Chains A and B, each alone.
Chain A
Amino acid sequence: MSPEAARLGLHPGQKATDAMALVPELITAEADPQADAAALTALADWCVRFSPAVAADTPDGLFLDVTGVDHLWRGEAEMLADFRDRLSVNGLPFRCAVADTPGAAWALAHFGKEGAIAPPGEQAALLAPLPPAALRLETETWAQVERLGIRQVGQLMSIPRGPFARRFGRAALTCLDQALGREAEALTFRRPPNPWFARLAFAEPISAPEDMARVMADVTAKLCARLETEGQGARRFEIAFHRVDGRALPLAIGLSLPGRDPARIAKLFAPRLETVDPGFGIEVVTMMAYAVEPISGRQVRLDRGREATVEEGLAPLVDRLTNRLGEDRVWRAAPVESHVPELSVGRVRPLAKPQETKPWNRETPRPTRLFRRPEPVDGVIALTPDDPPTQFRWRGQLHRVRRAEGPERIGEEWWKGGIEEVQVGHVRDYYRVEDAEGGRFWLFRAGLYDAKDAPKWWLHGIFG
């Protein structure tokens, strides 16, 4: 509700026709809760520049946990002033307050003096003159409170707890307790609060590529120094460039083993840095570390042995490749317990610990190249019902089979699908054949022998 609208006598909850009668030139728009939610989310993301812990209070509120971050602005008052300045510049109507508890802050922001800061432990005095609605009570409870002639939170606070709970319900008491800090309130933060956070703010917005590279290295070094002092390493780092116009541009990299080497991490970010458009300038850079776990410090090797450790050779390579190509493009093949050829190979991350699965059988020949989709072959001459083909044509080339072995019958995994879909005919009879030139192929005949239909043959792989 903007002050201009309030001056014209409009208020939320008013009927559209009434409002039109009051202000004939009023432009109305359909409510769009999804767009509102999206806008609130965007605002929550923007607020991360003030505190990493931001929780959305639908439909129109935000909670910021500023515990331990206000000193960056030299106090809550300066922080709130900066916050208000930036919101006003963006033309957003707002009311805000700072208090010990989310409940008290909500009450002060909605009903108290705009921009109020409750001194620690003294929110009760500030809450007392507010109307009972400030306690975020349920509608029925609130109506009952009104009916009893209670006009101020202070009056509610003076009621003994026992009778209060009996009359207004346990939920109302919880609301009061949460406002006064006697009970904890769980907020759903947009991002889970993360203690591994570093932030750099600049007096002047920066935009030159070399400046951005330098501040990225600086913020990385800052966070990594903290990780190092606490003996931790992280697998995932996220950096966000906060632009003057309020947009935050994130970049993320992952490591295959937890690490904290600032040079290495900055190097992984470096190729992506050019995708960040600084616009009119970047004023704040934040960095977070995720999946933090303890790692032992590295000892400098004195013997210069030939055997290289994973940390110095392979892990940086895997990180470079995964961050450049994408996580799904670098893998190690791992056995999966399935007899269906295309399902028997799983992909694991290259440096993951080996799983305890049954290895593949060396004695059942599998091709060197396995096609993702079997390719149809035609011109097959084979004795029915289950002799290997004597010739087949693939990609326009005729292959005369000189030697063959099979069939190896492979059925579907009937226990995985629905019972209706299971059919006896869902089998493949695989043959390993060798043509006159020595080419070795893996062919299969789909389905069981059927006197009426000619069987369909497919090529599934090549042995070479």
Chain B
Amino acid sequence: MSDFRALRAKIAAIEASGRATSESLPFGDEAIDGCLPGGGLPLGRWHEIVGSGLEVETAAAPAAFTALLAAPLARRGEVVWVLRRDDLCAPGLLGLGFPPERLIQVCARDEAEALSVMEDALSTTGVAAVVGEVEACDLTAGRRLQLACEKQGATGFLIRRRPYGGQARRETTGSAAATRWAVASAPSEPPAGEFGLGAPRFRAALERCRGGRTGAWLFEATDAYSWEMTDVAHPLRLVADLGDRQLAPAQPLRLAG
């Protein structure tokens, strides 16, 4: 086992191409941190976040989830959010616990421009994280993003979002992303006896993870829409481990008889 670990460390060192092993941002729960390499969301890499169904076009749950992931990073530096459609609502991000005063929004005219702005922002000192809303990212563009991330150790988040009314593109195979998350909203559970909605919940499946294991979890943004400001390590709290069940077909198995 220790041989295996040593080998792994060796491979990581080769992959890091000389630079010190990068930091990571732990979620604060062993169930998920254990799956991720280095015990947390790797920083200085880029992560892919995808939605499903209508969310492919609106990308609201992926955006909310990304804002929650990037909120601890916003305390270290600026966050640049590259959009194709300027419908991101800053008060909504504030409600989730993301500081909008650290956010610079950029509206790109097309896909290639969005990717090049992301690359430019990632390689700038003082930028802690870059979020980009892009329809697809091929292997070359992904590799370029990765190189840009390594320059200053900024973390990239790429939200896959198709323009409204656009045709579905052919899925590109392979990706240079460190992780790939499939995110969807999940029904909230308000405390017993309370009306209305509970804290927002997200079902997030870690579909790909370089040097780690996949998994699926139910997260809750406990402090959303309240003044109890988050000084905790991470605004996302793990509610349940969905294991691999959620990745199985949603249709329950019907037994005859």
Contact = CB atoms under 8 A, between A and B. Distances in A.
Interface of A: 308-310, 312-314, 316-318, 320-321, 325, 329-333, 335, 341, 344-345, 350, 354, 359-372, 395, 397, 402-405, 432, 434, 436-440, 461-464
B223 to A, nearest CB: 9
Contact of B126 (A308, A330, A403): A308
Interface residues of B, number: 58
Interface stretch (B11-19, B57-65, B207-215): B57-65
B186 interface: yes
A440 B124 contact: no
Contacts of B104: 318, 330-332, 350
B201 interface: yes
Contacts of B225: 362-365
B54 interface: yes
Interface stretch (B21-29, B35-43, B113-121): B113-121
B54 to A, nearest CB: 7
B125 A312 contact: yes
B58 A329 contact: no
Interface of B: 54-55, 58-65, 67, 78, 80, 86-96, 100-101, 103-109, 113, 117, 120-121, 124-127, 184-188, 190, 195-198, 200-201, 203, 224-227
A368 B227 contact: no
A332 to B, nearest CB: 6
Contacts of A335: 91
Contacts of B62: 464
B58 A369 contact: yes
13 contacts: A317-B120, A321-B120, A331-B105, A333-B100, A362-B95, A365-B224, A432-B196, A434-B185, A438-B188, A440-B197, A463-B60, A463-B92, A463-B185
Contacts of A368: 60, 63-64, 67, 88-89, 92-93, 96
Nearest to B67: A368
A307 to B, nearest CB: 9
Contact of A325 (B89, B107, B190): B107
Contacts of B58: 369, 462, 464
B103 A317 contact: no
Given A317-B124, A360-B90, A438 B60 contact: no
A159 B208 CA distance: 98
A325 B109 contact: yes
Contact of B186 (A331, A364, A438): A438
A232 to B, nearest CB: 25
**Interface pairs A-B: 4 shortest CB-CB:** A464-B60, A405-B196, A333-B90, A313-B126
A403 B127 contact: no
Contacts of A320: 120
Contacts of B91: 335, 341, 344-345, 360-361, 366
A403 B89 contact: no
A464 B203 CA distance: 11
Nearest to B63: A368
B88 A314 contact: no
A393 B92 CA distance: 24
Contact of A437 (B59, B64, B185, B224): B185
A464 B133 CA distance: 15
A329 B87 contact: no
B188 A313 contact: no
Contacts of B60: 367-369, 462-464
Given A341-B91, A364-B225, A367-B89, 5 more contacts: A318-B104, A330-B105, A368-B60, A369-B59, A403-B197
